[in-house]
Amino acid sequence: MNTFNRIVIVISLLVLIPLVTVFLVIPHVILSDVGRWATELGRQLWAADVTVRLGIGLLAALIFTLLALVLVFLELRPQRKRFIRVENLTGGMATIGIESVVRQLEYRLDPIPDVISVKPEIQAKHGKVRALVNVNMAAGVNVPQVASRLVDEVKDVLGTELGLRVAGEPEVRINVLAQPTGRRSSQPRPALPATPAGAPATPQSPELPANPPVWHDDTGEPVV
């Protein structure tokens, strides 16, 4: 809104400079011409149809009122802070941008296991920040354990790494994504034969061939 205000002010001043200059130099000519033009315009409006004149006037007044209310709202609405002051400095003053805080949180939260994506939202008010993190997780995870780690990481980033004053506790909104369809489950292994309770497990000896080979010595006699 500050940029828009500057543009309007600059354009208005550029238009008013020549008009005011001419009016101050030859005011009698300007007033006479304006008076004749206003009188002629009044006659034309009196001769126009009443319904058409009122309809056009009401429509123009409505458009002007809406534009004026929009400009007033944009001017008076509270502006979101783009920079936050860094606390606990030994000297001087430092600020950090909201977008930089969001990127730092994404850098720390994305590598956490079972976290698919994160979308931090930072709000600054009265010199403090409030963090809201939207997280997408995979199915079958321990939600309380991962959520606790997320909260700890957010506190560490905001308070320790960035030196910001945190308002309240960070809020984490978790969305567990569904498991993709068509994914095959692991095949179960065949069960081993059950062993009676109390009985020692007997190792199974390797099976011997039904007809073992017979070896002979040099004389042709079989060797036992």
Quick one: pLDDT at residue 6? 83
What residue segments make up the domains of the chain, in order of their start?
A: 2-76, 83-176
Structure tokens at 92: 């001087």
Alpha-carbon distance 70 to 78, whole Å? Answer: 14
Is 158:87 a contact under the CB 8 Å cutoff?
Answer: no
135, 115 Cβ separation under 8 angstroms:
yes
Higher per-residue pLDDT: 60 or 140: 60
Look-up of token digits 């001043």: 13
Q: Write out pLDDT tens, residues 173-186.
A: 888 887 655 544 44
In three-state secondary structure terms, 95 is strand
More confidently predicted of 76 and 150: 150
Q: CA-to-CA distance for 121 and 135, rounded, in angstroms?
A: 11
Residues in the chain: 224
The pLDDT of residue 185 is 43
Residue 16 pLDDT greater than 90, yes or no: yes
Q: Which amino acid makes up residue 100?
A: S
Q: How confident is the model at residue 215 (pLDDT cuts 50, 70, 90)?
A: low
Residue 187 pLDDT grade (very low, low, confident, very high; cuts 50, 70, 90): very low
Model confidence at 189: pLDDT above 50: no
pTM above 0.85, yes or no: no
CA–CA gap between residue 158 and residue 95 (Å, rounded): 13
Instruction: Give 204's strand partners.
Output: none
Most confident region among 78-87, 113-122, 197-206 by mean pLDDT: 113-122
Q: Are 170 and 133 in contact (CB under 8 A)?
A: yes
CATH number for the region 83-176 comes to: 3.30.70.1350
